[in-house]
Structure 1
Amino acid sequence: MTTTDPSSTRTVATVDPAPPVADPALIGVPTFLVGSIALGLVLTGYVPAAATGASIPIILAATGIGQLVAAIWAASRDQNAVASVFGIFTGFWLSYAVLVLGLTNNWYGIVAEDAVQTQKLFLLTWLVVIVLLTVASIRLPLAFTLLFALIDLALFFVFLGTSNASTSLTSIGGYLVFAFVAVGAYLFLDAMSRSTGGRGLPLGRPVLT
């Protein structure tokens, strides 16, 4: 766009502000955080051990659906890496909800003695996949790699707690959940700042450039 300088006959070029860039993180990150907070409270004993399903309404109706919406949005914008991340966590959260509902309601015919092995299978499987995601994230800003590494640690300690029937180890996993919630909150503030015309927050240099 051009305008005329009223004090002269010069024509002054002006630049229209760039439109905001679509960012699926504005849905994906906060819905990830709300489910993580609920899970962390369960793991650290905020609710009785018998009330494992207390977090499921949030995880199923908010986090699982939110991750799916963010993944579809990212894919529609050809943001392939972002779609992959949110797609992976869609699978994690929805399968966690189905696991808890299935075990508590005996949907799968798994006897009580095998329930722990089933939980271990779930945790180990997802630990392997998210470790792979962590390795793949080394070209992203450091904050993302840190987020995924903390998720790895949380899953590992919950796996150890489940394997050894140790509430202490499980609680450590829960506190690690709160640690990655803090990193996720920082990423959400960065995304929100950028989307509202502000400067993004420093996210750190990638491990591998």
Structure 2
Amino acid sequence: MTTSAAHLAPPEAAAPAVPNPFLESNPAAVGLPAFIAGSIALGLVLVGYVPASAVGASLPIIGAATAIGLTIAAFWAAAAGQSAVASIFGIFAGFWLSYAVLVMGLIHSWFGITADAAVATQGLFLISWLIIVVMLTLTTLRLPFAFSLLFVLIDLALVAVLIGTLQGSAGWLKIGGVLVFVFAAVGVYLYAGVASATTGGSNLPLGKPIIGG
């Protein structure tokens, strides 16, 4: 009995599936641009791009884009089981949303805060969030160095703005604004890495964690 060559030939291996990079779940693809937009808007206010009387100029971006975008990213991360990422985005969503509420409240006298208590109220806000972000910085030292750098720069910006607010110093506020631009630039670098990875490229180097293991 003869056997045809077709029966002797080994079966062809199925072609490997080509992964679709657009299906990768990365909440930072939404969270980082939202964070960067709010940071740039706040930095422009702090360096005096708009008059001091226009302190609410950044609120349309911060309240409607940054806070909402970071909230979406936090829920996305939580749904994907990325607890650390959800925590980070959730913390910053709270910061930006509470900033928007603070400024709107001071402008429209929502909370019964008198004019002579306005500075102390802003100090309360800044001190509270400085403590939270320092906590975040110290407890995430196992993340790649770029994230630690981002958080340290945010800490320094909060310190500069706190001093400028309590002392009524435009110089310190401008220093804070410059630091905001610097950490926004770090955010741009992080987003470039995310965009590269989610479109089929390689990740950008983020540096070794300060605490390994």
TM-score range, shorter chain: over 0.9
Aligned partner of 1:142 among 145, 160, 170: 145
Aligned to 2:140, what secondary structure does the other structure show? helix
Equivalent-residue separation in structure 1 for 2:86 and 2:56 (angstroms):
28
Equivalent-residue separation in structure 2 for 1:207 and 1:11 (angstroms):
49
Task: Specify the code of the residue in structure 2 equivalent to 1:22.
Answer: S
**Are 2:58 and 1:67 aligned?**
no
State the Cα deviation string for residues 49-89 of structure 1 (Å, max 9, x = none): 01000000000000000000000000000000000000001
**Are 2:43 and 1:28 aligned?**
no
Aligned residue number for residue 116 of structure 2: 113
Equivalent-residue separation in structure 2 for 1:138 and 1:17 (angstroms):
35
Aligned residue number for residue 169 of structure 2: 166
Aligned to 1:139, what secondary structure does the other structure show? coil
Equivalent-residue separation in structure 1 for 2:77 and 2:20 (angstroms):
17
**Are 2:213 and 1:200 aligned?**
no
Aligned residue number for residue 5 of structure 1: none
Task: Specify the code of the residue in structure 2 equivalent to 1:17.
Answer: V
How much does 1:136 deviate? 1.3
What percent of counterpart residues are identical?
56
Where does structure 1 differ by over 4 angstroms across 4 or more consecutive aligned residues? 8-14
Equivalent-residue separation in structure 1 for 2:110 and 2:199 (angstroms):
46
State the Cα deviation string for residues 8-36 of structure 1 (Å, max 9, x = none): 85745653234442000000000000000
Task: Specify the code of the residue in structure 2 equivalent to 1:75.
Answer: A
- Structure 2-normalised TM-score? 0.92
Equivalent-residue separation in structure 1 for 2:205 and 2:15 (angstroms):
29
How much does 1:119 deviate? 0.1
How much does 1:134 deviate? 0.5
Equivalent-residue separation in structure 1 for 2:10 and 2:29 (angstroms):
45
User: Alignment length, in residue pairs?
Assistant: 202
Equivalent-residue separation in structure 1 for 2:133 and 2:20 (angstroms):
34
Task: Specify the code of the residue in structure 2 equivalent to 1:136.
Answer: T
Higher RCO, Cα 8 Å, sep 6+? 2
Q: Which runs of 5+ in 2 are unaligned?
A: 1-8
State the Cα deviation string for residues 108-146 of structure 1 (Å, max 9, x = none): 111100000000000000000000001112100000000
Aligned residue number for residue 3 of structure 1: none
Aligned to 2:141, what secondary structure does the other structure show? helix
Aligned residue number for residue 84 of structure 2: 81
Equivalent-residue separation in structure 2 for 1:87 and 1:17 (angstroms):
34
- Structure 1-normalised TM-score? 0.94
Aligned to 1:204, what secondary structure does the other structure show? coil
Task: Specify the code of the residue in structure 2 equivalent to 1:199.
Answer: S
* CA root-mean-square deviation: 1.2
Aligned residue number for residue 56 of structure 1: 59
